[in-house]
Amino acid sequence: MRLNIEFTTKLKKFGAESTYECFNCGNCTAICPLSTNDEQFPRKFIRYLQLGLEDKIKSSIEPWLCYYCGECQQTCPRQANPGELMMSVRRYLTTVYDWTGLSKRLYTSTAWKFFSVGILFFATLLIIYVYHGPIVTEHTELETFAPAEIVHPAGYVFGTVLAVILLGNVYRMYRYIMSDNNIKIPLSIYIQELWTLIKHFTTQARLRLCENKSLWLKHWLLMSGYTAAFILVQVDILTFWSLTNNPPPAWHPAKLLWTYATIAMLYATTVAIIGRLKKEEPVHQYSHSTDWMFLILLWLTVFTGFLVRVFMQLDLPLPTYYAFAIHLAFTVPLLGLEVPFTKWSHLAYRPFALYFINVKRRALELEQSKQQALEEAQ
C-alpha cells in the first residue's frame, strides 16, 4: 500500500493540527458508543494519518460514522483532539468525492470562500434587479414583484444542477468505499436497504447512542426544519401558498409547518453559534472557517425568510420586497456552496455511508450463506 509522507501536512489545512500528539492508547475508541468491533474509530484512523495511509482513508467508511459528540476528547490523556481529527478527515474526504475541485478550494482557501459567497450573493441581487416585476407600493404583492413564472423555473434549474453535482459526488464516494468489495451485490439488496438511508437521513438515530442527548436534539431540529422547508418549497411550486399576493392565514397548515421549520433552524444555528463563541463544550472548541460560513449563511437565510413573512403579514410592501431579495441572495450561496461542496454535504454522505455499510454487510452474509449451502451439499 502506497504511503504519503506529506499526508499529515496536507490534512492541517482541514483542521488536523494534533495528529502526532496521539500515542494510540485506545481510550477514544473504548469510550466511543458508536465504535464497534467491525467499525473501530477514532484510534485506528489517527494511526492511518500518522502512517500516511491516504489510499486506505479514501476507501474507509468509518469517518462518517463519527458524529463528533466530544466524549473522546474529554478522556484523551494527550489532548490529541480525536474528534476534531475525525472531523478533519471528513472535510478531506468531501474534497476527494467532489469531482469539480471546488470543495478543495473552499476548504483550503479563505479567499475562495469570501470570493465564492460574494459572487453568488451579488449576482443574485443583480439578477433580481434586472428581472423583477412591477413594484406595487399601495399594498404587498410579492408575486407581482417576483413572478412565479421566473422564480420557479430558475429554482428548478438551480436545484437540478445541485442534484447532479451532489449525486455525482455520492457516486464517487460509492466507488471509493466499494473498491475493496469483490462480491457481486444483487440489486434487491440495494432496494431493501433504502429504508436505512431514509431512516438515518430523517432521524439521525445513531447520534442518540451518544451520552450528550442534547446534541442529537439539535441535529434533529436542524434536519427536520430543513426537510420541512424543502418540502414546503416544492409544495409552493404547485400551490403558490408562499409566493403569492394573498398570503394564507396564520393557521394555514403550510404556514404552521413553515413556522416550525423557522423556529427549529434558528434555534439550532443560534445555539451552535453561541457554543462556538463560548467554546465550553468539546464539540465547540475547534471551528474550521467553513463551519462558520455554514452557520452564518444558514442563520441569515432563515432569519431573512422570517422577515419576509413578518413584513407580508404586516402588509409592508417595500420591506417585503427588499427582504425577499436579500433572502434569495443568502439562499443561493448557502445551497450552491454548502450542499454539494462543504459542511451540509455531510447530511448526504453520512446516511449514504450507513446505507453502503448495510449493503456490504447484507451482500457478505448472502455470499457466506451460499458458500455454506454449497459445502453442506457436498
d(CA 60, CA 56): 6
> Where along the chain do its domains lie?
7-97, 102-363
Check residue 106 and give its pLDDT.
95
d(CA 355, CA 200): 9
For residue 242, the 8-state DSSP code is S
Residue by residue, pLDDT tens for the chain (378 residues) are 678 888 999 999 999 988 999 999 999 999 999 998 888 899 998 999 999 999 999 999 999 999 998 889 888 998 899 999 999 999 999 999 999 999 999 999 999 999 999 999 999 999 999 999 999 999 999 989 998 888 888 888 998 999 999 999 999 999 999 887 788 899 999 999 999 999 988 888 888 888 888 889 998 999 899 988 888 887 776 666 667 777 777 788 888 889 999 999 999 999 999 999 999 888 888 899 999 999 999 999 999 999 998 998 899 999 999 999 999 999 999 999 999 999 889 889 999 999 999 999 999 898 888 888 887 776
Residue with cell 411550486: 237
Please give the model's pTM, rounded to 2 decimal places.
Answer: 0.92
Residue 1, classed as helix, strand or coil, is: coil
Give the list of residues 6+ apart from residue 296 with CB closer than 8 angstroms, or none: 273
Check residue 240 and give its pLDDT.
64
Give per-residue burial for 127-138: e unless 16+ CB within 10 Å, then b.
bbeeebbeeeee
The fold of 102-363 is Fumarate Reductase Cytochrome B subunit (1.20.950)
For residue 314, the 8-state DSSP code is T
Check residue 119 and give its pLDDT.
97
Check residue 238 and give its pLDDT.
65
Check residue 316 and give its pLDDT.
95
d(CA 343, CA 297): 11
